[in-house]
Amino acid sequence: MIEAQFPVKVMEPIRVEALPVGNYLYQVKWDGMRWITYKSARGTSFQTKAQKVFRERFAELDHCFDWLPRESMIDGEVVVLRDGLPHFPSLLRRLHSHSLKPSELEVDYVIFDILFWEGNDWRKKPLGERLDFLEQCSPPSERCHKIETFTDGSRLWEGIERLGLEGMVAKVSTSLYRGGKDSSWLKLKKFQEQSFFVGGIKFKGDALQAVCLGMMFEGKLVYVGTVSNGVSRLLRNEGASAFREKESSPFTGIGPRPGRGENIRWVEPTVLLKTRFLEWTDEGKLRHAQII
């Protein structure tokens, strides 16, 4: 049996502004963390989009892949479901918590592609064939799900908007699995809104450049990103007196760093800012965020 290549470079969609129409298959874009699963003679291994490898990470998924043959690899997303819908802040809480038991906030795994099967490289087969084969495989675990695929993108988008989901991915039905960003996979996303605490303010000279935002987990502030779009509105609405300075960073773990010619003034995380953003990165940071 041929040994599969691992870790692999995952295939990523390119963002578009309008619903792609044509020879596409449409899937919900799950709001979670990309998670490749590989079964070998040495056991089961996992990798993130950044090719960080784990032997174990989520205890509740330990037996979800007993059905997977040796030298087989699947692509999917780890999610936390709330009322049946993916909820990324809960996944962040699970990832950053040190006291939370797995049973208190369990994850699920959504499979959307097959890369290798029993040593055979399925990346060279068209997407439609890979999905047909995936449909024949029946994961026995209640925590392991196969993604649903649709041919009517407009109706799926209506459902995504109604349910408040993150977005969709349109994939050319004949596309091969190629690592990196590829135009045969396209993503259409909805902007999300959420409030975050201000833990730092970036200045260049006396000019306010951006605010450093975080979320509270078990009383600790976790850094989620720096936002510059909308800072003038922030000054009008809040004013400098709303922020109480502190000597050291309020963020736990890795926090924001000043750019060239910048300095950061740390503040008590008491002010909540409503933010509009496009998506979460796999590293738990905001993408294309602005203050509203």
Confidence of residue 73 (pLDDT cuts 50, 70, 90): very high
Same topology between domain 11-189 and domain 192-291: no
pLDDT given for residue 281 in this prediction = 86
State pTM to two decimals. Answer: 0.79
**Residue 225 DSSP label:** E
Over residues 133-157, the pLDDT tens digits come to 998 886 657 889 999 999 999 999 9
Q: What percent of the chain has pLDDT over 70?
A: 95
Q: Is residue 79's pLDDT more than 80?
A: yes
pLDDT given for residue 201 in this prediction = 92
Pick the CATH number of 11-189 from 3.20.20.80, 3.90.950.10, 3.20.190.10, 3.30.470.30: 3.30.470.30
Which CATH architecture group holds 192-291? Beta Barrel (2.40)
Query: 54-63, 156-165, 186-195: which range is least confident on average?
Result: 54-63
Contact 2, 38 (CB under 8 A): no
Q: How far apart are CA 193 and CA 37, in angstroms?
A: 31
Give me the mean pLDDT over the 76-101 stretch: 86
Residues 6+ apart with CB under 8 A from 44: 37, 38, 55, 65, 68
Domain boundaries defined on the chain: 11-189, 192-291
Contact 173, 128 (CB under 8 A): yes
Query: 12-26, 97-111, 207-221, 227-241: which range is least confident on average?
Result: 227-241
Q: How far apart are CA 84 and CA 264, in angstroms?
A: 40
